[in-house]
Amino acid sequence: MRTLTGARKVVVTALLLTLAGAASLEAAPKPRNVLIVPFAGTDLTRDEQWIGEGVAQSLMLSLVNVPGLVQIDRDRLRQLPQPEAWDEATTLAAARKLAADVALYGEVKRTGADLIVQPRFLELRGDKVDKGSLDTFTVAEGQLLDRVRPLPAAYLKALNASATDAEQARAQKWAAPTAQLKAYELYVRGRQAGYRGTQDGNEAAVEFLSRAIEADPQFVAAQYALGVVHQNLGNRWKAAAQFRASAQLDPTYPEPYKALGDLYLTAPRRLFEEAIKAYTKAIELRPFFAEAHVGLGDALAAKGDIDPAVTAYRKGLDYNPMNAKVHVSLGKIYYSEKGLYYESVTAYKKAIELDPAYLEARTGLAEVYEDKGLYKEAIEEYRKVVDADAKNTGALYNLALVYEKVDPKESISLWERYIALASSLPSEKDWVDVAKLHLKKLKHQQPN
């Protein structure tokens, strides 16, 4: 089996005891999962269609600064059918599918020279749905950023979401992340292109975001977003440069520090100490940054620092109980360190339940099945990974390897497919050499 993710040298007993002890603590208020969708702009011109997304981006940038509101990643929304416009029915359906507690949506209409914005929201409590709306507001030509600045505070009040004065101030600041409307439009268009998740989409996003930065070199969020796109394209050095530029422009912005931690953790030399410092800085700036806590736990676990890693994972779950990454990390620990098959499978399945498109969770589950000799189950999970990501060379390699044990002819086909895909990738050279040996052996064993 080709391991797609490194095992962590962590003693699971300490983790189990610590997590069990957490049950006796006084329960903190349950975080609410928030879905934010583009505001509908069906009567806007083609050139104005970005505005509905622009309102959503303003809310996403601002409300991330409020503890207790956990935003559902836009990539998960992209996995659902995309309506022409997000109205009440489609927003509610998506909210239920993604287990949201709150959904923010609305409309943008043109009336003469002005825009009219109608913010709305849904609160889901089991089968019960409470519908609400905020006061409409008018946006004169060129005044979008000024008019959306108070919107996060209005939503917080309507949702009865607590926030300190400092958190309110940060939310208001990030609701209008640039003073240049054209730069903001380019930023929004860049984010829209990146959400497509394709090579063409990412390349278009680079173009839009680069132009946004040209229009406003101080645009912190655009610098960071460009780094994310470069990272998605595999340009690690360019991504790191953009993250550092974002952090230099605003040292209080935690996102680039967390992103740098991810780069350090996945670097060929596994720069654990640098990753720990970056994650720690992100948490210092935003103590409830669940993803940074998870990253810190992964870095500490990789080093073998048991108790600090446990603490980091616990905090990640405290701030975001729906975090699938924590359950994947636990799945790895349970099986690789203690051989706890049932607990490992349960953790991976929980991650998949929370995010069915989280391929690392399916890969981890498949690896456990394969190691236990449950080849049918392993094939099923590897297939789902390959079907979702045809260029996932690791899953394709493992799928070919498992098929050797149950269907050598199918394995030959998969090895040929893997070699064709991976031969041009320098990072796959050694694996391709091994694959060719497997293919040669299998063909030799087949009857003429």
pLDDT digits (tens, 9 = 90+) for 340-366: 899 899 999 999 998 888 999 999 999
Per residue in 369-384, pLDDT tens? 999 999 999 999 999 9
Is 67 part of a structural domain of the chain?
yes
SS (H, E, C) 379-390: HHHHHHHHHHCC
322 found inside a domain = no
- 53 falls within a domain: yes
Beta strands in 72-165 (DSSP E): 102-111, 114-125, 128-133, 137-139
pLDDT at 321: 84
> In which domain, by residue range, is 125 found?
32-176
In a domain, residue 162? The reply is yes
**Encoded tokens for 20:** 């069990």
Predicted pLDDT at 1: 76
Confidence check: pLDDT of 145 > 60: yes
| Residue 81, domain member (yes or no) | yes
Reported as a single tens digit per residue, the pLDDT across 425-439 is: 888 999 999 999 999
Q: What is the mean pLDDT of residues 261-282?
A: 94
**122, part of any domain:** yes
Domain at 103, CATH number? 3.40.50.10070
Per-residue pLDDT at 4: 52
pLDDT band at 15 (very low <50, low <70, confident <90, very high): very low
- In this prediction, residue 271 has a pLDDT band, given cuts at 50, 70 and 90, of very high
Is position 319 within any domain?
Answer: no
User: Using an 8 Å Cβ cutoff, are 178 and 213 in contact?
Assistant: no
Residue 119 has pLDDT above 90, yes or no: yes
Task: Please give the model's pTM, rounded to 2 decimal places.
Answer: 0.82
- How many domains, in total, are found in the chain? 1
Higher pLDDT, 227 or 302: 227
Q: What is the pLDDT of residue 374?
A: 95
Q: What is the C-alpha to C-alpha distance for residues 440 and 444, in angstroms, rounded to an integer? A: 6
What is the reported pLDDT for 308? 83
Whether 352 is covered by a domain: the verdict is no
